[in-house]
Amino acid sequence: MREWNELIIDQLAWIVGGLAVLTLWLLIWNFIQGGKLRKVRRRYEQMMQGTGIEDLEGLLIDLKNQQGKIEDIQSEQQQELDRVKTLLPKQKAKVGIKRYNAFGERGNDLSFSVAFVDDMKNGVVITGLYSRDGSYVYAKPLTGGESPHALSSEEVEAIALAGLGE
């Protein structure tokens, strides 16, 4: 045992020096880690500032709830968009107008044919005939660009003009 004591006493300076270096290194490492921790805390406080939530877990839960609501709204909007896409081709939004002089006599091009059709050329063609003796208005239904009633060349041209709106 005495030999051990002498060995330790002989090496005591080295042991104390080594422990002092280790303590100094741990102290420096502690200051470095404390600086990093303060930097992380400042960034955390900046991130949480103005949220009204105390901790990160509460913030993440709040964001998840908001994301769920946004997904629900997006789903509703997609359904509405799909509904509009099915209705849009059925809208009578294509219009063709042909003005002409129906009777070839003196006067202006006061007669007209107007076609209102959808993408499938279903709709109506309205013709207004004007003469000195009076004016007349006719409406003819259209299915696929055709009518069960005879169509004049001006009415056919109005339907073709409406089809150009594609």
pLDDT computed for residue 33 by the predictor: 96
Mean pLDDT over the full length of the chain: 88
- Mind giving me the DSSP string for the chain? -HHHHHHHHHHHHHHHHHHHHHHHHHHHHHHHHHHHHHHHHHHHHHHHTTS--SSHHHHHHHHHHHHHHHHHHHHHHHHHHHHHHHHGGGS--EEEEEEE-SS-SSS-S-EEEEEEE-TTS-EEEEEEEEETTEEEEEEEEEBTTB-SS---HHHHHHHHHHHTT-
In this prediction, residue 149 has a pLDDT band, given cuts at 50, 70 and 90, of: very high
Overall pTM surpassing 0.75 (yes/no):
no
Per residue in 41-78, pLDDT (tens digit) is: 998 888 878 777 778 888 888 889 999 999 999 999 99
pLDDT computed for residue 83 by the predictor: 92
pLDDT computed for residue 28 by the predictor: 96
